[in-house]
Chains A and B, each alone.
Chain A
Amino acid sequence: MKTTFDAIVVGAGPAGSSAALTMAQAGLDVALLERGAFPGEKNMFGGVLHRLTALEEVFPEFWNQAPLERHIVKKSLTFMTGEASFNVNFDTEASDRTPYNGYTISRPKFDHWLAEEAVKAGATLLTRTTVDDVVKENGKVVGVTLLRDGSQLRAPVVIAADGVLSFTAQKAGLRRPQFDPSHLAVGVKALIDMPKETIDDRFGLVRDQGASNEIVGCTSGVRGGGFLYTNYDSLSLGLVLHLSSLSEGTKTPYDLLNDFMAQPQIAKYLRGGKLLEYSAHLVPEGGFEMMPEIVGDGILVAGDAAALCIVTGLNLEGINLATQSGVIAGKATIAAHQQKNFSKSGLAVYRRLLEESYVLKDLKLYRRTPHMLHNDRIYQQYPELVCGIMDQIYRIDGQPKETMTKMLLRAAKEKIGLKNLLADVYSGWRAL
């Protein structure tokens, strides 16, 4: 087997396959390593893929080329308590026109497809290949060793796209060995079988239109949120839970997920469905502050491995950032080959191009958001406040009403406290 390449990409997820595809198209000899039996086997996410502007040059009709479930036309945010829910829904025809703004996808299919596109362009995909360590010579990364037999693969550039825990980046000395639990969340998901027609009827959808719903208040006070997404003929239902909060409590992720499924307004959507698959994965939610070093001598870090993920509470962006960073890492490697300079300074163009792109601009813009979201009130008191107010507005009980302003102020005072409310509004305004 060939053991020397122009570049080695660790991980055939969206970042790695995008990097491999970019480099292979430019004629580089690329090895794309995947620990799963096929690309996508180990990959899991909530379910919404945002528009991939980075790949539009390569796939001008992405929506006809990639394996997708539905394109998202309805986005909603729900505040939920044990028995009530208040829903804000945004439904637009603009999202029903190409280029679509987002999709639901199945990772085993999507990641497999993207990796195969890299193979078509000339990359060598090696599956069932877990990387054990990086090979260093004179302080420079010059390859990787494989777990299966300790053998080496060599290349002047290694791109670590091996996901949120990136042991490749750690072994190259680019990230600290210990993670801060407040930077990470665990996502748990139930994939639920349901006929397409039933989904269309329940969610008010036609053709391959899809809906995505983010839910706050469904986690028994643990910081985090829920999601419910429509696939073609299945639903993705899950929770994303902050590890620093989950580890302080006594409820397990699956207990919380079961409670969520049993909540009356959610249970109605799931009626008649059958559990197909249960999965879990970490989400790097720490934002800009969490980023490791992303450029070293002979190595670049992309995607989740570089903590490129933006969480605002309304949107969760990851794969679009991963793909963009993969393409840029590929371009930086191509440039390094042209200059024959694989040192940290030769590869520094990666960081520069990422800074110029929306990836680092947005990550910096939302750098205060992770901190803002570490506020327990968001996950219990506020949903209770919102649902409580709606209940009072609509309830007819033979009692005289008070003015709306008076009622709002009293409810906010009781549930949140006015000082907290002001602090939260200020912190939300600064973070978003």
Chain B
Amino acid sequence: MNINLDEIFDTTSFTIDREPHIVVDSEACTACDNRACTTCCPARCYSWDEESKKLTFVHDGCLECGTCYVVCRKQAFSRWRYPRGGFGVSFRLT
């Protein structure tokens, strides 16, 4: 048994909002020296592409934990809020 984030939608429920609740200004990420979001996010929402020097953020599987908000050193969020009511992650058993 292990956690495979490629299959997160099989084990954790989401009602995905088309409008993202987090918006990253990835310009700021280019100058970041540690990009802690990519290692700390427990849902692997952040990935850095070394070739294109670009940070990609996908909000679909976000667990709304707040880790990225705390570890970001560049204050790279042009928006960081919780999803609109009724949207986002839905813990059913935890």
Contacts and interface: CB of A to CB of B under 8 A. Distances in A.
Interface string B1-20: 11101001001100100000
A278 B69 CA distance: 20
Contacts of B63: 279-281
B34 interface: yes
A179 B44 CA distance: 21
Interface string B46-60: 000000000000000
A282 B39 contact: no
B29 to A, nearest CB: 14
B37 to A, nearest CB: 9
A277 B11 contact: yes
A247 interface: yes
B3 A275 contact: yes
Given A253-B40, A270-B1, A282-B65, A42 B88 contact: yes
Interface in A260-281: 261-262, 270, 273-281
Interface size class of B (residues with CB under 8 A): 35 or more
Contacts of B31: none
Contacts, number: 142
Nearest to A254: B3
B86 A280 contact: no
A320 to B, nearest CB: 19
A251 interface: yes
A248 B55 CA distance: 19
A147 B42 contact: no
Interface in B36-94: 36, 39-44, 63-67, 69-71, 75, 81-86, 88-94
Contacts of A308: none
Contact of B67 (A127, A249, A280): A280
Given A107-B94, A278-B8, A282-B65, A167 B40 contact: no
Interface stretch (A49-57, A186-194, A378-386): A186-194
A243 B73 CA distance: 12
Interface residues of A, number: 59
Contacts of A128: 85-86
Contact of B11 (A236, A253, A278): A278
Given A254-B42, A280-B43, A234 B93 contact: yes
Contacts of A324: none
A111 to B, nearest CB: 10
A247 B36 contact: yes
A181 B41 CA distance: 13
B40 A35 contact: no
Contact of A108 (B40, B44, B70, B92): B92
A41 interface: yes
B40 A186 contact: yes
A261 B1 contact: yes
A263 B42 CA distance: 20
Q: Which residue, of B3, B12, B71, has the highest number of chain A Cβ atoms within 10 A? A: B3
Given A42-B91, A247-B36, A186 B83 contact: no
A274 B1 contact: yes
Given A42-B64, A108-B92, A148-B85, 15 more contacts: A37-B15, A107-B94, A130-B85, A148-B84, A186-B40, A188-B42, A190-B3, A192-B1, A246-B39, A247-B34, A247-B39, A254-B42, A254-B44, A278-B11, A280-B42
Q: Which 7 A-B residue pairs are closest in the complex by CB-CB distance?
A: A128-B85, A247-B36, A128-B86, A280-B42, A253-B42, A280-B65, A280-B63
29 contacts: A35-B83, A41-B91, A42-B82, A44-B91, A108-B91, A129-B85, A130-B81, A130-B84, A130-B85, A132-B81, A147-B84, A164-B66, A178-B75, A179-B70, A181-B71, A243-B70, A253-B40, A253-B41, A254-B5, A261-B2, A275-B1, A275-B3, A278-B8, A279-B63, A279-B91, A280-B42, A280-B43, A282-B65, A282-B70
